[in-house]
A and B are shown apart, each in its own frame.
Chain A
Amino acid sequence: MNLAELRKKAEMEFSANGFPTTREELWRFSDVSPVANAVFSNDWKPSELEFQSLEGSLVVVFENGKLSREKSNLGNLPEGVRIGSILDFPDPRIGSLAGTQSAFVAANTARFSDGLWIEVDDGVQLETPIHLIHLADLDGAAFHLRNFISVGENASATLVEEYVGEPFYWTNTVTECFVADRGLLDRYKIQRESPSAFHFQTLEARLGAEAVFSNHAVTLGSRLGRDDIRAKLAGRGGEAICNGLYLLNGKQHFDTHLFVDHAVPECNSHELYKGILDEKAHAVFCGRILVRQDAQQTDAVQSNRNLLLSRGAKVNTLPQLEIYADDVKCTHGATIGELDEQALYYLQTRGIDPVQGQAMLTGAFANEVLDEIRCAPFKAYAEERVRTWLEGVAK
């Protein structure tokens, strides 16, 4: 099936099935009817939002769903690295990971307007991070962005995706990543969408033998959103790392669904997800690890920890381990707790006021995730955004 046929099929499936409802198991804690019931335009205009690219990065700017060549910095790419619009590079692998079963993926496949395409050739180490920024400022619009990343054998790359905007819109992105044998892809996402926007992303990654894929999602924005992250360990000795930090307040609802598929032996996966929720925010975390019968010597660790700062905040956390191999090491843990009053009092007896004390304690809680970020400029940027958020809720 070529891309045109795939898009037609996706449109038909999306028209026939529509959006999921809370009667479906995968969606039972996330009601997407606000998205389903809204009417979105397909207009376009350039964005007026300011942006700042990460220091030393190759910045690729999308404005209201379309690549801006003027605002991007793709002039001097190293040899063996190609970056551009997905419309110019219709890779036959597009859609091969994401399929069209999910309504959001189907809608994206049918309607994507543009997206980032990256190919890093075998043996090429791209040291410079690629910084994708999506600027959204078209009220009432839907943005279907489709990204495709291919990292060759013994190659490496770092991708940062940033989503930002105002006031009301729907971002619906799909990113498919192929990491070939012994390849390395570090991917980061910072989601700073408008507090009234919808943000949905499906991330699909397929790892070859001894390949490493690490994903770090920092979520601060959107009224209603979800990350579907699916990593398939398809080659012996691969490693998948999926970390995340969600900071939610007001009536924000954010859902993370992870799925790590151990299909072959001797692979590792690590997942550390932490959340801090204030006011009436609601988080959902579902972490599914599938260890297939052949996947002996699997080492899988999953942890989801949540800190609730108010009585109105809520978390549903659902670890799901499905293990069919008999020689594996799998652990998981999930906690939901409150700020440690004893620790806060202890800080206070040393002269630290409760506002600063809370920011210090929540900062310490968040740092465990941020400390895992290997891309230094992104780490500094994420830390600053997180600190600002934490100081804001401590007041």
Chain B
Amino acid sequence: MEKTMALLEIKNLHASVAGNQILKGINLTINPGEVHAIMGPNGSGKSTLSNVLAGNEAYEKTQGEILFQGKNLDDLAAHERACAGIFLAFQYPVEIPGISNMYFLKAAVNAVRESRGEEPLDAMDFLDLVEEKKKMVQIRDDLLERAVNSGFSGGEKKRNEIFQMAMLEPRLGILDETDSGLDIDALRIVSDGVNALRGSDRGFLVITHYQRLLDYIVPDFVHVLVNGQIVKSGGKELALELENEGYASWNGEQQ
């Protein structure tokens, strides 16, 4: 039987930011349909991992290999990775004054479509798509007309991230501490949105400090990231274990 190609393969990944080595040999494979959670204390390299995957040029990959659907990501800039199907939901979504959410989304959707050789959506088709997807995360119409994330509450920003993900339909969704700053209602809405996007051809990497999010987005695998390395992997029960015992024991092991 032919082995299906992994969605994402990370091999011995080392990365640094501003000269500081943050990731020190990460190995991780995500297959289509799987949800992987990465948990770790502050400073363990969680956000570095998401930024390296998304192609942030401020982060330098110093060693190792990242394959996305079998293709080496080294030569792809951030926008090319997005077009290839990688989506990063930001921990701190950026406010962009002067550009309306709708204008921004249309540019994004059509950039991705263009990269796939598809015709750009016209205004009507685009609005239909917005109508269909906005229900998923309960985005209010006034937020669509406002400038991207400008003056949005923390919860609105995170919902906007998931809304964008729904619009762009990526192969791999990376959620970088999406739960931070969310109250329980917003957390539920965001999680419902993510769960609705789960499917056999899509994978997720859910990065979080707390176990709470994983009550709503139940992962297939949990990995513990400490000091730039995955120190333990397991099933969803590992998250509960961490919740009870904390990260202290692993921090201790490093010292």
A: residues with CB less than 8 A from B are 340, 342-343, 345-354, 356-357, 360-361, 363-365, 367-368
Looking at the assembled complex, report how far the CB atom of A372 sits from the nearest CB atom of chain B, in whole angstroms. 13
Which size class do B's interface residues fall under?
Answer: 20 to 34
| Residue among A354, A363, A364 making CB contact with B97, cutoff 8 Å | A364
Query: Across the interface, do B88 and A349 meet the contact criterion of CB distance under 8 Å?
Result: yes
Which B residues lie within 8 Å of A343 (CB)? 94-96
Query: Across the interface, do A365 and B98 meet the contact criterion of CB distance under 8 Å?
Result: yes
Bound together, the chains give a CA A364 to CA B149 distance in angstroms of 14
Known: A345-B78, A356-B107. A350 touches B98 (CB 8 A): no
Which of A345, A348, A350 is packed against the most chain B CB atoms within 10 Å? A350
- Whether B219 is near chain A, meaning CB under 8 Å from some CB there, is no
Query: Across the interface, do B87 and A361 meet the contact criterion of CB distance under 8 Å?
Result: no
Query: Across the interface, do B111 and A356 meet the contact criterion of CB distance under 8 Å?
Result: yes
Looking at the assembled complex, report how far the CB atom of A274 sits from the nearest CB atom of chain B, in whole angstroms. 11
Q: Mark B72-89, 1 if CB is under 8 A from A, else 0.
A: 000001110111000110
Known: A350-B168, A351-B108, A351-B111. A361 touches B90 (CB 8 A): no
| Residue among A340, A350, A364, A365 making CB contact with B108, cutoff 8 Å | A350
Which of A343, A347, A360 is packed against the most chain B CB atoms within 10 Å? A347
Which A residues lie within 8 Å of B57 (CB)? 345
Bound together, the chains give a CA A352 to CA B83 distance in angstroms of 9
Looking at the assembled complex, report how far the CB atom of A276 sits from the nearest CB atom of chain B, in whole angstroms. 13
Residue of B at shortest CB range from A341?
Answer: B58
> Can you offer 26 A-B residue contacts whose CB atoms are under 8 A?
A340-B94, A343-B96, A345-B78, A346-B90, A346-B93, A346-B96, A348-B79, A349-B78, A350-B82, A350-B104, A350-B111, A350-B164, A351-B82, A351-B83, A351-B108, A351-B111, A352-B107, A356-B107, A356-B111, A357-B79, A360-B107, A361-B96, A363-B99, A364-B147, A367-B98, A368-B98
Which A residues lie within 8 Å of B88 (CB)? 349
Known: A346-B93, A352-B79. A360 touches B111 (CB 8 A): no
Which A residues lie within 8 Å of B93 (CB)? 346
Query: Across the interface, do A352 and B97 meet the contact criterion of CB distance under 8 Å?
Result: no
Bound together, the chains give a CA A367 to CA B78 distance in angstroms of 27
Known: A348-B78, A351-B111. 11 other contacts (CB 8 A): A340-B94, A348-B55, A350-B168, A351-B82, A351-B108, A351-B115, A353-B77, A353-B111, A360-B104, A360-B107, A364-B99
Which B residues lie within 8 Å of A367 (CB)? 98
Query: Across the interface, do B98 and A354 meet the contact criterion of CB distance under 8 Å?
Result: no
Known: A354-B79, A356-B107, A356-B111. A349 touches B96 (CB 8 A): no
- Whether B15 is near chain A, meaning CB under 8 Å from some CB there, is no
Known: A348-B55, A348-B77. A364 touches B107 (CB 8 A): no
Which A residues lie within 8 Å of B108 (CB)? 347, 350-352
